[in-house]
């Protein structure tokens, strides 16, 4: 009786063991190739350099205005002759007093004569100048002056052909001031004015007030020049 009970117990244990194996079968470990098939190795691509765009910079132009005091040197008439646009000029050695336009745009003073005669003396070129008296002065006779020619200049005139003019040295007096300057000579008309007083007289000696005329009046010739 005991043996049969033991047999039945063993049979029941075996049945139970078989059922367990059927319900929970043992899982075999996966091999390495199977794992590799699941995890695919993807090659990395070459790195691509990325250039970031520069941020937009807002340029603001800043203008600074400054008021700078500008010092301008203005010629002062101290110790200088003040002239108007027209003055009376004494021409030496003739002593003729003529009305002259003060022309700061001309480098050389110019005198208009009635006649010019060129001749040679002691191997040099001279000129005989027949001066014209001022317009309306019927008492003064035309004066004649002979002077050596220092040089010649070519005068350009608008609307007329150029003219070759002789240049001589003469004493010119305006007011109390006398200077020896170069004077170009012409015997052609075209204007009632007999003389143009140029920069060679004005330089370092006079200033011009364009709003006035006859500032100095009649020339006052001193004994010595």
- Give the model's pLDDT for residue 129: 93
Do the domain assignments include residue 97?
Answer: yes
- Give the model's pLDDT for residue 22: 46
How many domains does the chain contain in total?
A: 1
Do the domain assignments include residue 45?
Answer: no
Do the domain assignments include residue 146?
Answer: yes
- Give the model's pLDDT for residue 182: 95
Do the domain assignments include residue 115?
Answer: yes
Instruction: Please give the residue range of the domain that contains residue 86.
Output: 81-190
Look at residue 126 and give its three-state secondary structure. strand
- Give the model's pLDDT for residue 37: 47
Do the domain assignments include residue 49?
Answer: no
Look at residue 184 and give its three-state secondary structure. strand
Do the domain assignments include residue 128?
Answer: yes
- Give the model's pLDDT for residue 165: 92
pLDDT by position in tens, the chain (length 225): 555 666 677 777 666 665 555 445 555 555 544 444 445 665 666 666 666 655 555 555 554 444 555 544 444 456 778 899 999 999 998 888 999 999 888 889 999 998 999 999 999 999 999 987 765 555 556 678 999 999 999 888 777 778 899 999 999 999 888 989 999 999 876 567 889 999 999 887 788 888 999 999 899 876 544
Look at residue 218 and give its three-state secondary structure. coil
CATH assignment of the domain containing 153? 2.40.70.10
Do the domain assignments include residue 122?
Answer: yes
Q: Considering the entire predicted model, what is its pTM?
A: 0.60
- Give the model's pLDDT for residue 4: 64
For 170-173, which contacts have Cβ atoms below 8 Å and span 24 or more sequence positions? 170/91, 170/92, 170/93, 170/111, 171/91, 171/92, 171/93, 171/225, 172/89, 172/90, 172/91, 172/92, 172/109, 172/197, 172/201, 173/89, 173/90, 173/92, 173/219, 173/220, 173/221
Do the domain assignments include residue 212?
Answer: no
Question: Exposed/middle/buried for 59, CB within 10 Å: 0-12, 13-18, 19+?
Answer: exposed
Residue 64 pairs in a beta bridge with none
- Give the model's pLDDT for residue 119: 95
């Amino acid at each position: 009786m005991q043996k049969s009970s033991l047999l039945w117990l063993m049979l029941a244990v075996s049945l139970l063991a078989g059922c367990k194996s059927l319900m929970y079968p043992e899982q075999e470990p996966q091999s390495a190739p199977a794992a590799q098939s699941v995890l695919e190795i993807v090659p990395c691509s070459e790195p691509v350099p990325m250039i970031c765009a520069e941020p937009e910079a807002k340029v603001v132009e800043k203008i600074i205005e400054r008021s700078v005091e500008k010092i301008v040197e203005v010629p002062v008439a101290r110790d200088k002759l003040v002239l108007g646009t027209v003055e009376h000029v004494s021409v030496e050695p003739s002593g003729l007093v003529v009305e002259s336009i003060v022309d700061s745009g001309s480098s050389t003073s110019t005198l208009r004569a009635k006649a010019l005669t060129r001749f040679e003396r002691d191997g040099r070129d001279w000129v005989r100048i027949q001066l014209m008296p001022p317009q309306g002065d019927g008492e003064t006779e035309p004066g004649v002056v002979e002077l050596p020619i220092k040089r010649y200049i070519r005068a350009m005139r608008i609307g007329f052909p150029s003219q070759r003019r002789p240049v001589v040295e003469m004493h010119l007096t305006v007011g109390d001031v006398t200077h020896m300057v170069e004077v170009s000579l012409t015997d052609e008309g075209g204007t009632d004015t007999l003389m143009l007083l140029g920069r060679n007289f004005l330089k370092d000696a006079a200033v011009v007030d364009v709003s006035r005329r006859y500032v100095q009046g009649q020339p006052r010739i001193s004994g010595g020049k």
